[in-house]
Amino acid sequence: MGIFKKLFGGNAPYKPGKLDLNRPVPLGEIFPDVNLAHSVLNELNKRAGKKLSGINEPVSIEDLKEIRSLRASGMEIRSLEGMEYLFKLQEADLSHNLIQEIPFSLEDVTRLNNKYKGGFILNLYSFVLDLSDNRFATVPELVEQYRAKERNLFIDLSDNPVIDPEVKTPSAEGCAEVIKKHRTGLSDNDFSWLLYYINAYYLVKTQKELSGYTETTPGDFTTEPLSFIKASGQILKNTIYPEGFNGQHNFALVNDRGKASVSVKKAEQEAIKKIIDFKLKDGLLPTGDTEPFNAAADGETINKTAVFNYYNENTDKLCPELFSDEILSDSLSADKKRILEQKKLLKEATDCLDTAIQNTESPEISGKLKTIKSLTEKIIDHMQENPKEYHFSFEINYLPMTLDIIRSYNNLSQTETETGKNKLAREKIEASFDTIIEAFGNYISQFEQNAAIDLHSDIDSLLSLFESHGLTDKK
């Protein structure tokens, strides 16, 4: 609990749920981490329809119960104190922050749930908790407790100092939950085809077959390999549910230890979604005489080696988008992946700003847009040269939100007749350009100042080392 000693002083540990929320309490007192407080404020105003002007405004426990999701990626959050009060949360993106621990346990959550009659999120099977790219040195106790209690939760601890045994690259973990979202409206046969293509992807990526489990009664699992049989014509059956699916059946993919999986890397979720979307659009059924299903005889089990060889050589037939996306390449380090993402973002920003520069007839506004473009290029150049530094706020929040504003400006510029309402909106956007320039300029000054401090620190450390080794006279 080192971070909380810094926050509160002394050796007193943080006591979860110490506030009495039976009366309204300022948001900033509930969430002492200013960045987390602002993230919750944003969710309250945007999604819960509140009109709070700042984190000093009081909120009630009923207000907090209205929050269903939390978007707080890249906000430089250090402390999660107060999150135990978000009783109805179902999804939280806390990736790219500086979090080291979850300061409350299952017992704390249960106690508060009983006190405030909340119905806490993590009791739900659909909860998604993204803690990727933080500072966790160990798997949080709360995560371990819920993993032991629940199944099919998405808890992502990838890109942390801790080596999370539940996360693999690439992984089967969590795929079942993604598949389940697409299950509605699919026939039993179509669902079997969906599993077939997911298995083909996994074979190509890992050279291993997926496993699955059936749950006949709660907690009663039978692990089996996921293989497929050509029944006849275009009818495919799988070995897990050969007679089809019904409301009593639960399906999940499991890890290689036969344990129900609860974690998934974000890139893997996106990969599975791409395959599902592609094959649903494609109609699911395979094409070509050499496709292993079409080449098999009726009643024959489809050879997994044939599936691997076919789709390994013809990945465009599986999902061209997925296999042409170098972001998902296993050969790339996290830093190189991030640089690729930054390059895409920079191109998007350049195109958007160039359009705005061409559309405006005002030399003054054109000059401001060019300055924003120049500052953006300088900031992203610095990020690519210093991938270990934490500047996620710019690429995840500041720049994307700025581009949304510029796109709105471009849309307003393309209208043939300008209404009074459009004119006011355009003028408000133009007035924001000075603030954006000031903020981006200060952002550059910040990391230049940090670089200067690091340089002085390096020099002092070197001189001190020389002196301690007797290589220089003491000055």
Please write the tens of the pLDDT for every residue from 35-71.
899 899 888 887 667 788 888 999 988 888 888 888 8
Q: Within 13 A of 196's CA, how many CA atoms are on the CB side?
A: 28
Note the Cα 430 to chain centre separation in Å.
Answer: 32
Q: Which residues contact 419 (CB under 8 A, 6 or more apart)?
A: none
Q: Is residue 309 within 8 Å of 203, Cβ to Cβ?
A: no
The pLDDT assigned to 370 comes to: 94
| 460 — pLDDT class (breaks 50, 70, 90) | low
More confident residue, 13 or 57: 57
Give the phi and the psi of residue 156 in degrees, each rounded to 5: -105, 115
Note the Cα 457 to chain centre separation in Å.
Answer: 35
Q: Where are the domains of the chain?
A: 2-156, 175-328, 334-468
Burial 212-227 (b: 16+ CB within 10 A, else e): bbbbeeeeebeeeebb
Please say whether the dihedral angle defined by the alpha carbons of residues 99, 387, 394 and 154, taken in this order, is positive or negative: negative
57: tokens are 């405004």
Token pair 């080392």 in the structure block, residue: 465
Pick the CATH number of 2-156 from 3.30.420.40, 3.40.50.1000, 3.30.565.10, 3.80.10.10: 3.80.10.10
| 454 — pLDDT class (breaks 50, 70, 90) | low
Phi-psi sector, 410: left (phi>0), alpha (psi -120 to 50), beta: alpha
Pick the CATH number of 334-468 from 1.10.760.10, 2.40.10.10, 1.20.5.4130, 2.60.40.650: 1.20.5.4130
For the ranges 1-10, 80-89, 161-170, 242-251, the one whose mean pLDDT is highest? 80-89
pTM of the model: 0.50
Question: Which residues on neighbouring strands pair with residue 221, listed in sequence order?
Answer: 215
Residue 95 Cα distances to 10, 296, 365, 441, angstroms: 29, 45, 36, 26
Note the Cα 215 to chain centre separation in Å.
Answer: 29
State the DSSP string of 116-159: HT---GGGSTT-EEE--SS--SS--HHHHHHHHH-SS-EEE-TT
Alpha-carbon distance 41 to 45, whole Å? 6
Burial label, 388 (beta-carbon count in 10 A; 0-12, 13-18, 19+): exposed
Q: Is residue 70 within 8 Å of 39, Cβ to Cβ?
A: yes
Arithmetic mean of pLDDT over the chain: 75
> Of 140, 131, 152, which is closest to residue 108 (Cα–Cα)?
140
The secondary structure element, H or E, covering residue 475 is: none
Same fold, 2-156 and 334-468: no
The per-residue pLDDT for range 288-298, each reduced to its tens digit, is: 888 999 999 99
Q: Is the pLDDT of residue 256 over 60?
A: no
Alpha-carbon distance 66 to 52, whole Å? 14
The pLDDT assigned to 121 comes to: 46
Q: Is the pLDDT of residue 93 over 60?
A: yes
The per-residue pLDDT for range 322-378, each reduced to its tens digit, is: 665 554 444 445 556 667 677 778 888 999 999 999 988 899 999 999 999 999 998
Q: Please provide the distance, in angstroms rounded to a whole number, between the alpha carbons at the two ends of the chain.
A: 41
Q: Of all residues in the chain, what percent carry a pLDDT higher than 70?
A: 68
The pLDDT assigned to 119 comes to: 53
Between vectors from CA 389 to CA 388 and to CA 390, what angle results, nearest 5°? 120
At residue 60, the 3 state secondary structure works out as coil
